[in-house]
């Protein structure tokens, strides 16, 4: 296969399909990204719902704690009794307006749990300023979170009208149980939602999807205060959706490509077959033309010999000679058209070559009542291919013989500057003005009607002009009032 | 001069031989390549016309074989193959010229004369190269005659006839002498052949062919060149 055909195939089939494929994949990927984003937003929405549920839970707890903290006095025994009665509260503490601890009692004996609490909540007493500042809520109440030991601790505090601070530590286990109870049913979740505390440890997870050990969550949401150091993560399966989205698309494009390729191969094969047939026909014509030459040589040779021997009055032989010359020209034209060749130029005299061609033509022209008037004006030798020049002049004279019988032909040569001009003018019907450009086209004939009685192949002028151009010159039709005038230019 | 024509087509072979003989050459013919090589060895022709497409051994091979024996003998290829490569191959093998079929008599004659001129020019110079008959200067080695600025092309036979008449100026040259000297012994032409040839020659070299001054007819005997008559005519 020729490289040109491969390039055409690549340009017409492969490149557009590749572009189409690339664009489609890109579009599909964009769409997928968008869908993933929407999917994540949906998941985030779910997490936000959970966050709202938990925030509501804490608000409920806040209300009940607020209620519990409205105490008439801070008697130690009563407070201890309240801690025992309220499951939600793990411990109380009370500071007087001056910041002095009232409960657990600063003086006097404390219980073991109170002692634990004092250790656990030590930093509150150390820096009370920070206690207020880092608390979540208004200036007279709020949540305070701190970390001690193995986990997080949560305190709700309240400042009463006398300026004392009353605070309750929330029971962590109780709170966790409440949170878990508030979370949605496991079956309602397609992925896996994990709740992680401030240290990143997953404290609770649910849902029927099992993520891989290193899998990143689709989306993550921090909970609202006071649990804002906690994170909700949503794991979900989306990867298979990634992998298979392109298959139908690529299969479609591949099918189109395959169809086009099969079509291309089919046309290529058809074309090569036709080309081969045409080549065979051309080679057959060449072969026949070569084979015609041998009998033609003999006819021409013997006719010319006979012509020399017989008296000049015998016109019959000159017809055979003229016709065999015409056949020679036809064969030369066919072969030249089928397989053009390069020229072998040698310096020579244009006039003497013209005279010899005219002499060959004289009997045939005389039979049609055509006389030739030759005016030779060349002074210097010109480089030309004798066979080619003979063929050009022969074709032009042959046209005059066919189309302008009964009129004289004038042939003139002249040299101007670096150009030798050969002008051949007949006084026949000429060429209609609109068709002057067409006469040099191959197989173009002014009239194809059989009744015209004019024969020809329609390649004479084409070949004549090609040969002239191969010489570096040209063959042109000069505008004239009557007849046709051709001018051949040859560079000196 | 002796010419070998190697051509497989019998009509072309005979036609070429006739043209060459009419020009004044002795011809030998070969119908294929092998015969041509044998004849070149035995007969030592002065030049060779060689067809390319022949049965057995083609023209290129024959040319190669001949060149091995004799690198200088002129060879003219005759061929129906007119493509560039064929011509180039022929010329590269050492051929002197290439005539493509179908060819005309005039083309063959012109090319053969050109090759003959080259042959004659390459030979050692003869003591007398040119001679004058009246105003006509005949140059045998050029196969041409000059009259002032006019140049007349001559065949080998024309030159032989004129040489014979010039050598025997003032005397009658009879028909048998012409045949023996100019046609060769093996060729037996009839008397018409001589008269036709002289008539053709007069057309070219005489100023007035109807009243010839150079070659005068001696009725019943033959022809004569009379230098005195030419002088008086002036």
Q: Report ipTM for this prediction.
A: 0.70
Residue of B nearest to A321 (CA): B104
Query: Any CB–CB contact under 8 A between B112 and chain A?
Result: no
* A372: its two tokens: 């030739």
CB B6, CB B62: distance < 8 Å: yes
* Domain at B2-122: CATH code: 3.40.50.2300
B chain contacts of residue A328, beta-carbon cutoff 8 Å: 102
Note the CATH architecture for domain B131-233. Orthogonal Bundle (1.10)
Residue of B nearest to A340 (CA): B83
Q: Is the peptide bond before B102 cis (omega within 30 degrees of 0)?
A: yes
Q: Which of A41, A51, A44, A111 is nearest to A76 (CA)?
A: A111
Query: Any CB–CB contact under 8 A between A386 and chain B?
Result: no
CATH 3.40.50.2300 in chain B: give the residue spans: 2-122
List, for residues B53-65, the tens digit of each pLDDT value: 888 888 888 999 9
A chain contacts of residue B19, beta-carbon cutoff 8 Å: 301, 305
Q: Domains for chain A: give ranges and CATH numbers.
A: 1-245 (no CATH), 246-339 (1.10.287), 345-491 (3.30.565.10)
CB A299, CB A320: distance < 8 Å: yes
Helices (H), A378-459: 386-403
User: What is the rounded CA–CA span in Å between residue A485 and residue B54?
Assistant: 45
Candidates B83, B101, B196; nearest CB to A293: B101
| Burial label, B119 (beta-carbon count in 10 A; 0-12, 13-18, 19+) | middle
CB A325, CB B104: distance < 8 Å: yes
| Burial label, A214 (beta-carbon count in 10 A; 0-12, 13-18, 19+) | exposed
User: What is the rounded CA–CA span in Å between residue A363 and residue A24?
Assistant: 78
Per-residue model confidence as pLDDT tens for chain A (492 residues): 678 888 888 888 889 888 988 888 888 888 888 888 888 898 899 889 989 998 998 889 888 888 888 888 888 888 888 888 888 888 888 888 887 888 888 777 888 888 888 888 877 777 777 777 766 666 778 888 887 776 778 888 888 888 888 888 888 888 888 888 888 776 667 788 888 887 788 888 888 888 888 888 888 888 887 888 888 888 887 655 555 667 788 888 889 989 988 998 998 899 899 999 888 887 787 777 777 888 888 898 888 888 877 766 667 787 788 888 888 888 888 877 777 777 878 888 899 889 988 988 888 888 888 999 999 888 888 889 888 898 899 999 988 888 888 899 999 999 888 889 999 999 888 888 888 888 888 877 776 555 455 566 778 898 899 999 998 999 999 888 888 999 999 987
Query: Any CB–CB contact under 8 A between B175 and chain A?
Result: no
CATH 1.10.10.10 in chain B: give the residue spans: 131-233
Q: Is the peptide bond before B49 cis (omega within 30 degrees of 0)?
A: no
A chain contacts of residue B15, beta-carbon cutoff 8 Å: 298, 301-302, 305
Residue of B nearest to A329 (CA): B102
């Amino acid at each position: 296969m020729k490289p040109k055909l491969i390039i055409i195939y690549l340009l017409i089939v492969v490149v557009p399909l590749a572009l189409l494929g690339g664009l489609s994949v890109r579009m599909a990927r964009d769409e997928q990204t968008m869908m993933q984003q929407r999917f994540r937003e949906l998941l985030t929405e779910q997490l936000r719902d959970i966050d709202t549920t938990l925030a509501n839970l804490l608000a409920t707890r806040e209300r009940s704690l607020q209620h519990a903290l409205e105490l008439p006095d801070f008697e130690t025994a009563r407070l201890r009794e309240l801690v025992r009665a309220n499951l939600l509260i793990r411990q109380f503490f009370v500071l007087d307006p001056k910041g002095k601890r009232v409960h657990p009692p600063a003086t006097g004996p404390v219980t073991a749990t109170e002692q634990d609490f004092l250790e656990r909540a030590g930093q509150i007493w150390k820096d009370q300023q920070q206690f207020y500042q880092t608390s979540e809520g208004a200036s007279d109440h709020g949540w305070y979170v701190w970390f001690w030991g193995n986990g997080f601790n949560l305190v709700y505090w309240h400042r009463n009208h006398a300026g004392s601070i009353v605070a309750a530590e929330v029971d962590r286990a109780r709170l966790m149980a409440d949170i878990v109870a508030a979370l949605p049913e496991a079956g309602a979740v397609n992925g896996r939602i994990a709740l992680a505390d401030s240290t990143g440890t997953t404290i609770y997870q649910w849902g029927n999807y099992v993520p891989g050990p290193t899998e990143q969550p689709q989306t993550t949401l921090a909970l609202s205060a006071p649990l804002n150091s906690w994170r909700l993560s949503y794991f979900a399966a989306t990867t298979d959706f990634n992998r298979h989205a392109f298959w139908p698309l690529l299969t479609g494009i591949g099918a189109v490509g395959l169809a086009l390729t099969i079509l291309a191969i089919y046309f290529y094969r058809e074309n090569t077959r036709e080309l081969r047939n045409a080549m065979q026909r051309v080679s057959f014509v060449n072969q026949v033309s070569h084979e015609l030459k041998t009998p033609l040589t003999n006819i021409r040779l013997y006719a010319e010999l006979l012509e020399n021997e017989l008296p000049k009055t015998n016109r019959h032989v000159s017809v055979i000679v003229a016709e065999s010359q015409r056949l020679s020209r036809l064969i030369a034209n066919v072969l030249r058209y089928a397989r053009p060749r390069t020229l072998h130029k040698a310096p020579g005299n244009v006039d003497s070559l013209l005279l010899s061609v005219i002499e060959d033509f004289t009997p045939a022209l005389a039979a049609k009542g055509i006389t030739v008037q030759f005016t030779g004006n060349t002074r210097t030798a010109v480089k030309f291919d004798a066979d080619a020049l003979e063929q050009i002049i022969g074709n032009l004279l042959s046209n005059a013989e066919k189309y302008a019988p009964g009129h004289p032909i004038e042939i003139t040569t002249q040299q101007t500057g670096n150009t030798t001009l050969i002008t051949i003018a007949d006084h026949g019907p000429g060429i209609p003005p609109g068709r002057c450009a067409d006469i040099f086209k191959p197989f173009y004939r002014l009239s194809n009607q059989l009744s015209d009685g004019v024969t020809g192949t329609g390649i004479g002028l084409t070949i004549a002009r090609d040969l002239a151009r191969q010489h570096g010159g040209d063959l042109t039709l000069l505008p004239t009032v009557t007849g046709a005038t051709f001018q051949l230019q040859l560079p000196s | 001069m002796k010419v070998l024509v190697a051509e497989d087509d019998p009509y072309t072979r005979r036609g070429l031989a006739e043209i060459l003989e009419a020009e004044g050459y002795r011809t030998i013919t070969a119908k294929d390549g092998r015969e041509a090589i044998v004849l070149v060895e035995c007969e030592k022709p002065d030049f060779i016309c060689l067809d390319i497409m022949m049965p057995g051994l083609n023209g290129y091979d024959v040319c190669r074989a001949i060149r091995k024996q004799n690198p200088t003998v002129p060879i003219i290829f005759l061929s129906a193959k007119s493509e560039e490569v064929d011509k180039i191959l022929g010329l590269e093998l050492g051929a002197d010229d290439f005539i493509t079929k179908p060819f005309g008599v005039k083309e063959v004659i012109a090319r053969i004369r050109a090759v003959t001129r080259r042959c004659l020019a390459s030979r050692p110079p003869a003591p007398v190269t040119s001679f004058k008959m009246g105003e006509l200067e005949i140059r045998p080695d050029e196969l041409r005659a000059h009259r002032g600025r006019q140049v007349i092309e001559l065949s080998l036979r024309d030159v032989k006839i004129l040489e014979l008449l010039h050598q025997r100026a003032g005397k009658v040259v009879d028909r048998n002498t012409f045949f023996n000297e100019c046609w060769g012994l093996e060729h037996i032409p009839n008397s018409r052949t001589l008269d036709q040839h002289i008539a053709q020659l007069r057309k070219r070299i005489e100023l007035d062919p109807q009243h010839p001054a150079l070659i005068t007819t001696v009725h019943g005997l033959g022809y004569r060149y009379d230098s005195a008559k030419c002088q008086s005519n002036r």
